[in-house]
Chains A and B, each alone.
Chain A
Amino acid sequence: MSLLSRPVRAALIAGSMSLALVATGCGSSDPKAPAADGGDSASAECAPFAQFGKHEGKKVSIYSPIRDKEADLFQETWAPFEKCTGMKITYEGTGEFEAQIQVRTDGGNPPDLAFFPQPGLLERFAKAGKLKPAPAEVKKLTEQNWSADWAKYGTVDGTFYAAPLGASVKSFVWYSPKMFAEKGWTVPTTWDELMTLSNTIAGTGVKPWCAGIESGEATGWPATDWIEDILLRELGPEEYDNWVAHKLPFNDPKVVAAVDKVGSILKNDKFVNGGYGPVKSISSTAFQEGGVPITEGKCALHRQASFYANFWPEGTKVAEDGDVFAFYLPGNDPSKKPVLGAGEFVGAFADRPEVQAVQAYLATGDYANARMKLGTYVSANKGVDIANAQNPIDKLSIEMLQDPNTIFRFDGSDLMPAAVGAGTFWKGMTDWINGKDTKTVLDYIEASWPKS
C-alpha cells in the first residue's frame, strides 16, 4: 500500500517542482542594475575616494555594538564612499555584541569587520587567530593620525590589528553652571578643592554627589570607571598599566587605598546619593538616570563620561553657560592631566581588498570629520577639525584628547579578561556599594582572575 494515493503524490511533486522553479527564478535575477552614474559631476564628488579603488558589486559586512540613531549616522557618513567605490556596506548593530561576536565566529559566520569596544575582547580574538592583521596602509594611517597610546590598544603581541574609530572621555564631572553661579561655587582644579567643595555643598543641606550603576547585566560598570579614574591619578600611568595587566595584584594595598578614596565619596552617606536616597540606592539607580537630579537641584556633581550629554532630560541645555556642563575630574597635581577614556577599534575577520579599503577609509581624518558634521561624535583622530564638533562637550572632549599634555589611558575593565573586566569587577563593585568592605571585595576579584 502506498502512503499516498497516486494523484495526490503527483500533485505534491509537481507542486514542489514549481516552487523550486519560482525560488531559483527569484534568486538568480538581481533587480538592482548598477547605477551608471559615472558622469562629470560624480567624478568631482568621488575624487577623494579614488585612492580606495573600485570595488563594483562587492559587499562588506560590519558588526557593531552601536545601534539606532548613531548607527544611522554611520551609514549616512559612508554612503558617498559606498557610491564612489561601488561596494555595498551592510551594517548590523546589536545589543549583545560581546556574546554574539563569539557565537558568530565559532559558528563560522564572522562579519568582515567588527567595531570592538573592548581592546581586551579584540586581544582574545587576535590570540585565537581569528583576526587578520591590519594592512600596511591602515597601519600607516593609524601611526599618522593617532597617538602611540591609542595605537598600542590595537596591537596584540607586536602585531597591529585594529585602528581606533570613535572615542569617549570618561574623566568628567557633570555640574550645573547655573547652580554654581547662584551659590558662588567655583570649578575645582585639585582633588582637595573638590573635597572642600563637596563639604561646602553638603553644608547647605544638599547631598553633593549623585550616581547610578544599574545597567542590567552590566550593573556596576559606572563604579569601575570611578575606581579606574582615581587609580590612574593615585598610581600614575605606569602602575595603572601594571594593574590592568595584573602585574600589580588587584588587592594590593595601594589599590585598596585608591578604592577607599573613591569610597570617601561613593560610600559616604553625607555625600551621596543626591535625589535618590542612601548609599545603597546607587546600585538600583539606572546609570542613565544617575545625574538627572542635578537638573532638579537635588544634587550638584555627577562623574560620568562625555556620552552622558545624551541622557539629560529633553530641553536641558548642555553648554558652559547652560543648564549642565562638565569639568575635568581633578587629580592631586593640577599640572598633570591623566585622562580615562574609551573607544572602538575596527577589527577585520577578512582580508579581501574591499574590506581593507573600508578599514583604510575609516582610519582617515576625512571619515572622522564627515561623521562629526552629521551629529555628536568624538574621535581621537589628530586629523579631526575641532570646528566640526557639534556641541560644547564634544569640543571639550576633543580638546582634551588633542592636548599634548594629556596622558590617555583606556578604561581598564575593557582591557582585562572578560571574566574580570565584564564580570567580577562589575559584580564586586556592586557588592562594595551594597556594603561589603574594600579588602573583601578586592580579594574576591583577585581570586577570580583567570589562571593560565
Chain B
Amino acid sequence: MNLDFDFAAEQPKLVQLLLGVVAFCAVVALLLLLLDRAPMRQRARLHATILLAPALILLAIGLIVPAVRTTLLSFMNGDGSRWVGLDNYLWMFTQPEAVTVLRNTLVWVALVPILVTSVGLLYAVVVDRTRFESIAKSLVFLPMAISFVGAGIIWKFVYAYRPEGSDQIGLLNQIVVALGGTPQQWLLEPPLNTLFLIVVMVWIQAGFATVVLSAAIKGIPAEIVEAARLDGASPVQMFFQVTLPCIRSAVVVVLVTQSIGTLKLFDIVRTMTGGQFDTSVIANEMYNQAFRYGETGKGAALAVFLFVLVTPIVVYQIRQRREAAR
C-alpha cells in the first residue's frame, strides 16, 4: 500500500483546511474587535449576545431545522412529494417486520443498561482496594478504546461458524467443540442472536461503568464505612445499605447514558448481522429505510419515534443533575 503523503496532490484539501482556520480566526478576531468597541454601559448584555449568537445559530442550523424537517417528512411518502398522514406510523406499529424492530430495541434498552451497570458495579466492588486494582480496571476499560465497528468485527470472528469436522475459526464454537458439542450458528437463530449482540455492547461499555462507579465508591466518606463496620454490618449489608445508596447518583448517570447510547445503537447490528435474522433495531432500520430503500417518510417516522423515546430519559437526567446541584 502506498502510504506516502503527496502534498502536491492533496493541495486542494490543505488549502481548504487553511481557509477554514483562517475564516475561524477572522470571525473570532472580528467578534473580539466588536466587543472591544462596544460602549461601556451595555457591555455585559452585548457580550452575552455576541458570544452566544454563533452557538445559537449553529444549533438552529444543525439541530432545530433538521428536527422540524424530519418531523414533517415523517408525514410524507417515500420521496417527500405527497402528504400521507399517519401512514408511516401505522406501518411502524402494524407491519410484523417493523414491530420486530421495535421489540428488539426494547430488549436492548431493557437489558444493556442493567447488565452494563451490574457488571461494572460488581467488578468495581470486587477489585476495590485490592493489590491489582489499577491493572484490573485498565483491562476492563480497554474495549472502550475499540470502536463499535471494530468490536463488531472482532465478535463476528468470535461467533464464526465452520461445519462440524473442519477447523473452527470462531472462539465460541472452538470451546463448544472442545467440550464435545456441535458447532452452532450463533447469529442466525432469533431470539438468541440478539442476546449475542448485546454481549458485545456489554463488553465494550462495562469498562465505562466500572471506572465511573469505582470513582464514586472511593468518594464514600471513610467515617460512614467505619461506622457501619463498627455496627457489625456484613459485607452484603455494607453493599446494599451503605455503598449503593451513597453512589446512587453515579449509578443513575451510568444507567441513563447507557439507555441513550443503546437506543441509538447502530454500528454493532449493522456490522455483525446487517439487521438480518430478526436482529434489526430502530437506528439500523431508520438508515435502511431512509438511505438504502429511498423511503424517507418511513425513515423519518422511525427517527421521530427514536427522539420521543430518548426525550424522557434526557429530561430525567437533567432533573437528577439539578437535584444533585441543590
Contacts and interface: CB of A to CB of B under 8 A. Distances in A.
Interface of A: 2-4, 9, 12-13, 15-16, 19-20, 22-23, 26-27, 31, 98-99, 102-103, 124, 128, 216-220, 275-277, 280-281, 283-284, 417-419, 422-424, 427, 430-431, 434, 444, 447-448, 450, 452
B159 to A, nearest CB: 9
8 smallest beta-carbon distances between A and B, as pairs: A16-B25, A277-B163, A217-B274, A419-B293, A99-B291, A19-B22, A418-B293, A2-B36
Contacts of B163: 275-277, 281
A12 B276 contact: no
Interface of B: 8, 11, 14-15, 18-19, 21-22, 25-26, 28-29, 32-33, 35-36, 77-79, 82, 95-97, 161, 163-164, 185, 187-188, 270, 274-277, 287-289, 291-295
A115 B274 CA distance: 25
22 contacts: A4-B32, A9-B36, A15-B25, A19-B21, A23-B18, A26-B15, A31-B8, A99-B287, A128-B79, A217-B292, A219-B276, A281-B163, A283-B276, A418-B292, A419-B78, A419-B293, A419-B294, A419-B295, A422-B293, A423-B292, A427-B97, A430-B277
- Chain B's interface: helix, strand, loop or mixed, by majority? helix
A284 B19 contact: no
Contact of A20 (B22, B78, B95, B287): B22
A356 B255 CA distance: 58
A220 B18 CA distance: 46
Contact of A283 (B29, B36, B188): B188
Given A102-B294, A444-B97, A19 B18 contact: yes
Nearest to B294: A418
A277 B163 CA distance: 5
A12 B25 contact: yes
Nearest to A18: B22
A214 to B, nearest CB: 9
A434 B185 CA distance: 11
A128 B287 CA distance: 21
Nearest to A424: B97
Given A3-B32, A447-B95, A284 B185 contact: yes
A417 B289 CA distance: 12
A277 B295 CA distance: 37
A3 B35 contact: yes
Nearest to B182: A277
Contact of B291 (A4, A103, A219): A103
B11 A16 contact: no
B293 A423 contact: yes
Contact of A217 (B161, B187, B270): B270
Given A23-B15, A276-B163, A434 B293 contact: no
Contact of A423 (B18, B29, B270, B288): B288
Contacts of B295: 419, 450
A121 B292 CA distance: 10
Name, among B15, B164, B293, B295, the residue most crowded by chain A CB atoms within 10 Å (CB to CB): B293
A12 B78 CA distance: 50
Given A19-B22, A102-B294, A452-B82, 15 more contacts: A12-B32, A26-B14, A102-B291, A103-B291, A124-B294, A217-B270, A220-B276, A276-B163, A284-B161, A419-B78, A419-B289, A444-B96, A444-B97, A450-B295, A452-B77
A219 B292 CA distance: 14
Contacts of B18: 19, 22-23, 26
Contacts of A418: 292-294
Nearest to A98: B292
A450 B97 CA distance: 15
A98 B96 CA distance: 26
Contacts of B275: 217
Name, among B36, B187, B294, the residue most crowded by chain A CB atoms within 10 Å (CB to CB): B294
A80 B113 CA distance: 60
Given A19-B18, A217-B275, A284 B164 contact: no
Contact of A281 (B26, B33, B161, B292): B161
Contacts of A419: 78, 289, 293-295
Contacts of B8: 31
A20 B25 CA distance: 10
Contacts of A277: 163-164
A396 to B, nearest CB: 32
A128 to B, nearest CB: 6
B162 to A, nearest CB: 8
A103 B299 CA distance: 14
A434 B188 contact: yes
A12 B29 contact: yes
A22 B21 CA distance: 12
Contacts of A16: 22, 25-26, 29
Contacts of A128: 79
B273 to A, nearest CB: 8
A13 B32 CA distance: 10
B215 to A, nearest CB: 35
Contacts of B291: 98-99, 102-103
A447 B91 CA distance: 11
A370 B208 CA distance: 57
A254 to B, nearest CB: 25
Contacts of B14: 26
A219 B274 contact: yes
Contacts of A218: 274
Contacts of A431: 277
A422 B164 CA distance: 33
Given A217-B270, A418-B293, A430-B276, A23 B22 contact: yes
Contact of A422 (B15, B270, B292): B292
A220 B26 CA distance: 53
Nearest to A9: B32
